[in-house]
Structure formats: structure tokens, C-alpha cells
Structure 1
Amino acid sequence: MNITIRQETEKDYEFSETVVEKAFKNAEHSDHTEQFLVAKLRKSNVFVPELCLVAEINEEIVGHIMLTKLLVKDGEKKYESLALAPVSVLPEYQNKGIGSKLILQSLKISKEMGFESVIVLGHDKYYPRFGFRPASKWGIKTPFDVPDESFMALELKDGSLDGITGTVVYSKEFFE
């Protein structure tokens, strides 16, 4: 299976949103609106086109990932980071390493672009394999109530989260 990971283009948007919708259709912890979130985030000021990737097999889009800017805020202090949300793979292609390839490539690009950390709200048995740890380790909190082990952070640069504390501020699109 030859998987190509590349930056999403405007002509991919409809296909990507279909992948996102199908990927979350039967997800337990989902409101099934992730495809609308992706569309809204693309039009926002937190959108980073280079961090919106698709996975293709035989020129068919089978996976999608998006990382957008966020802030960790502690009083007047603000620290920029990235939100990994969502990562999607068509159900028939899940558990074949496509999601992992998307995540690894997006983290590589993020680091190359100078970003220093990534935050994810996700499965506590999946994301640690990429180096994610509970964000509470650094004193980083979520603005809503979720299990501590599901809210994670990753340093893209060693020590980049040292001394960073506060609450994550997601863009308004996450709450619309």
C-alpha cells in the first residue's frame, strides 16, 4: 500500500470533509460535526495551510489531519502552541498506519516551521506513542472538563514547555 502525504489544496476540501465525516460517524466521543469544524477553521486566523495534510492511496484521499494555532494563557502571559484536531482516516483504512503517518509528518513540518509544542485532546492509549504526555505535567489546563490523561501536550523542542503554565485558549471556531 503506497501512501502519499501532501498538503491539502482547495480542490481537496470537499473530499477531505467527507473523509472527516465518515471517520467520526461511529466515534464514541464525537458530536459528529468535525467536518464543519474543519471548514470553519480553514477560514479562521488560526489556520496554518502547511499543517493541513491529506493521505492518498492511488490518488484517492483516505486521511486528513489539521493543526491550528492556539494559546496557553496565564494571566497576561501568552504562549503560542498548536492544536492537533482532528485527525481522520476512512473507516476501511483505519489501523493501517495512515493516521500515524499523518501525525508524524505534521509534527515534522510543525517543528520545521518553528512551532515548539502541540496540544491534543485525544485517546490516551494512542497519542503517547508519538511522545504526548498529560499536559498537566507542565501545569497546562483545558478550558473544559475532560479526563487528565486525555488532554496531552508534546514538546517539539526539548524544554519548550518548561515554565509554561495556564489554560489553553482555543479559537472560537471550536465552540460554534
Structure 2
Amino acid sequence: MNIRLENINDWFEVENLTREAFWNVYQPGCTEHLIVHNLRSHPALVSDLSLVIEDDSKRIIAHIIYCKATILSDSGEKIEILMFGPVSVLPEFQHRGFGRKIIEYSLQKSKELGYGAVAITGNPKYYRRFGFKSGSEFQIYYANLPRTEEAPFFMIKELVEGFLDETVGKIIELDDYTVSDEAVEEFDLKFSPKIKEKRPGQLV
């Protein structure tokens, strides 16, 4: 298995991989493949952290994407950190350590590139194994939620110890993480038809 940078020739394969990985997981169908597509053209994209894992046959089986994010402190200061996701692994390769491998590799790469912290929205049980903690533990809060309302899905990992020690504020998330149903329906026409299903445990 090989981890390498994504290139333009990978784009459709990666978007299809992402669609396969998330289809009917959190909602009927998914939106993550369009989010990946949109983030690629966003000025906040960190192309040095758009990574794939390919197997011996050069098939892409996993992908991760990073963008710059901003913490707006209560004092008005803007602190640049990273945010990653979606992280995608082909269904037949899930639960075999490839998600962990690409996350750990990319976090180390992020530190080498000089970033001080990384944020994520996701499953706390999964991401705590990588050293992520609730944003509120750093006094960094999610978007416009009341600070008294815990947002367990919003987590941060310091890559440089103490990087956020003097900071109290909120994360400003990119608009590109939100897409309309109409835009997803149109984008889906580029891919093979799949059946949307309502399943137990979905968020929507």
C-alpha cells in the first residue's frame, strides 16, 4: 500500500470512492462526494494534504482532504488552523486500518508543514484515539452554538503543545461543507445510479 498526493487524474475516482464510502450511512444517499468536489476549488484547500492510499494495482482505496480553518478569538484575533474531512475508505477495505493509516500520516505531515492544531467534526469515540479532544476543553467553540451547549462532534488536536493555551473563541467553518439537495441530485448524474435507503442510525 502506498500513500501519495492526490492529482487531477484521481479526481473522479476519489469522488466515486467517497460516494461509495458514505452512501446511505448518515442519510439516504450522501453529500460527501460533492463536498470533496467543491473543496478542491476553495482557496482554503491545502493541496499538500490531499492524500490517497492506493493498493498494489494502483487502485485508490482511501482519501483525505484538508482545508485551512479560522478560529476567531474573543479578542478579535484570527488564528489559522486546519480542518480535515471527509475521510473516505472503500467499503470493502473498511475496518482494516486504512482510515487510521491515512489520518495518522496526514496529522504528522500537518505538523511538519508548521500547523499548530487541527479541528474535526465527527464521531468522538473514533477520533479520540488520535488524540482529539472536545473543542470546549480548549475553550474553542463550534460556530454559533451557545457555549453552554456541548458539541461533542466538534474536536481539536494540538499539533504543537500549548498552541491554543491563550485562546478563547469559536471556529469559523467553510460554507462549502454545506450543499443543497438540488446540487447533490445534479452532481449524482455523473455517477452510476444507486438506490437511496432510509436505514436505522442515520442522522437525517
The alignment status of 1:164 with 2:158, answered yes or no, reads no
Give 1:10's aligned residue. 8
CA distance in 1, matches of 2:161, 2:128: 16
The alpha carbon displacement at 1:147 in A equals 5.5
- SS of residue in 1 equivalent to 2:118: strand
Percent identical pairs in the alignment equals 36
TM-score w.r.t. the length of structure 1 is 0.93
- SS of residue in 1 equivalent to 2:124: coil
The question of whether the paired residues in 1 share the 8 Å contact of 2:142 and 2:154 is answered with: yes
Deviations 1:41-96 (CA, angstroms, capped at 9, x unpaired): 11011011111000111210011001110001124211111111110101110000
Gaps of 5+ in 1: none
Larger-gyration structure (1/2):
2
Which is bigger in relative contact order (C-alpha 8 A, separation at least 6)?
A: 2
The question of whether the paired residues in 2 share the 8 Å contact of 1:138 and 1:163 is answered with: no
* AA aligned opposite 1:157: V
Deviations 1:130-155 (CA, angstroms, capped at 9, x unpaired): 10000100111111558622210000
Give 1:78's aligned residue. 78
Give 1:106's aligned residue. 106
The one of 20, 29, 32 aligned to 2:30: 32
- SS of residue in 1 equivalent to 2:49: strand
* AA aligned opposite 1:84: F
* AA aligned opposite 1:149: P
- SS of residue in 2 equivalent to 1:125: helix
The question of whether the paired residues in 1 share the 8 Å contact of 2:69 and 2:174 is answered with: yes
TM-score w.r.t. the length of structure 2 is 0.81
The alpha carbon displacement at 1:31 in A equals 6.9
> As a proportion of its length, which structure holds more strand?
1
Question: Does 26-35 or 69-78 show the bigger shift?
Answer: 26-35
The alpha carbon displacement at 1:29 in A equals 6.1
Q: Tell me: CA distance 1:113–1:160, structure 2 relative to 1, closer, same or farther (3 Å).
A: same
Q: Which runs of 4+ in 1 moved over 2 A?
A: 28-31, 144-149
State how many pairs are aligned.
174
Give 2:198's aligned residue. none
The alignment status of 1:121 with 2:121, answered yes or no, reads yes
- SS of residue in 1 equivalent to 2:46: strand
RMSD: 1.7
The question of whether the paired residues in 2 share the 8 Å contact of 1:24 and 1:30 is answered with: no
The alpha carbon displacement at 1:27 in A equals 1.4
The alignment status of 1:151 with 2:154, answered yes or no, reads yes
CA distance in 2, matches of 1:60, 1:134: 35
